[in-house]
Each structure stands twice: as structure tokens, then as C-alpha cells.
Amino acid sequence: MMLKGRVPLALLAALAVASCGLHPLYGGGSSGTVATTLRSVQVGPIEGQVGWLVRNALVDRLGESGSAAAQYRLEVRLDDNITGFGIRGDRAVTRERRTLRARYQLVSLATGNVVLDATAGSDAGIDVVSSEYATVAAEQTAAERLADVVADQIVARLGVYAARTAPRP
């Protein structure tokens, strides 16, 4: 008996969401507009070791890179900082924050115009321990995680751009 009251409510909620204009970002799957546009983005080289990590993450996330004719070039500049902020009485750092910020521009290859100019970033805390090797390993792990987070943010923003600029059927 309680199920009868929930079915019309669920149906009403589904109709309300459908009528508000929301649609899936990756509608159409791998042949959809967003996925096709993302595959047409070539990623330029990015300086440094963390740049290499970010570039590889971007290429992985953009899909079958090279399978579509390049329409856009993604240019990324990184700002990678490690700041010590937990300081003991003997002035030894006990905690660090690694911050990775990316300014990226999507350039149309047809016109040479910048069609999207945005930023992405994240940070991670690192415990500084007595073993220098462990601290360096923690800094490297933080760089790998931050590269993934920043790449995810960039690809999500590119997906939104592709959905908003796609021609309407």
C-alpha cells in the first residue's frame, strides 16, 4: 500500500526534471557532441615533471587522441608550490602544503582565437617526517594526485564548453 503513493511521486519528480531543460553532459556516448569535441583537442607540451604528469592525465581523459582531426589546442601553464607551515620550536618544518594551479587556454586552430581561458587548481597536505626519503615520496605522491585532480577539472570545464557551444539540432 505504501508503494502506491511513491510511484506517482517518483513519476512526477522525473517529469519535473525532464521539463527543466537538464540533459546529460555526455549524452550520445562516444559519438556524442561533447565526446567528439574532446577527442579533437590536442594538448600542447607542459613544462616540468608535474607538467608531464598533467599532460599525460589530460591525454588519457580526452579520449582517443588523434582519432579526430584536431580543431583545438590546449595550452596549459602550471604554478607548483610547496610551502612549509607547521613549524616546531626548533624551527623545523613539520607540515607542507603542495599547491598546483593551472591556467589553461583552449585555442581554435581554425581562427587562432582563444575560445576558453580559465584556471584550475588544488592543494594537498604533506607530513614532514624524519626520513627525507619518505618526505620526498610524499611530495611526489601529492604531485601525482594533484595532477589527476587538475586534469579532471580541466576536462570537465572543456566538456561544459563543448556542450554549450554545440550546434542545437
Q: Is 25-165 in CATH node 3.30.160.150? A: yes
* Own/partner pairs, 107-114, CB within 8 angstroms, 24+ separation: 107/72, 107/73, 107/74, 107/75, 108/71, 108/72, 109/70, 109/71, 109/72, 109/73, 110/71
- Per-residue pLDDT reduced to its tens digit, 42-95: 999 999 999 999 999 999 999 765 566 889 999 999 999 999 887 777 878 889
Cα(159)–Cα(74) distance, integer angstroms: 13
Burial of 32 (C-beta count, 10 Å sphere; 0-12/13-18/19+): middle
**SS3 of residue 32 by DSSP:** coil
Is the pLDDT reported for residue 30 higher than 60? no
Is the pLDDT reported for residue 158 higher than 60? yes
- Per-residue pLDDT reduced to its tens digit, 77-92: 999 999 988 777 787 8
| Element spanning 39, H or E | helix 33-39
Is the pLDDT reported for residue 108 higher than 60? yes
* Domain definitions of the chain by residue range: 25-165
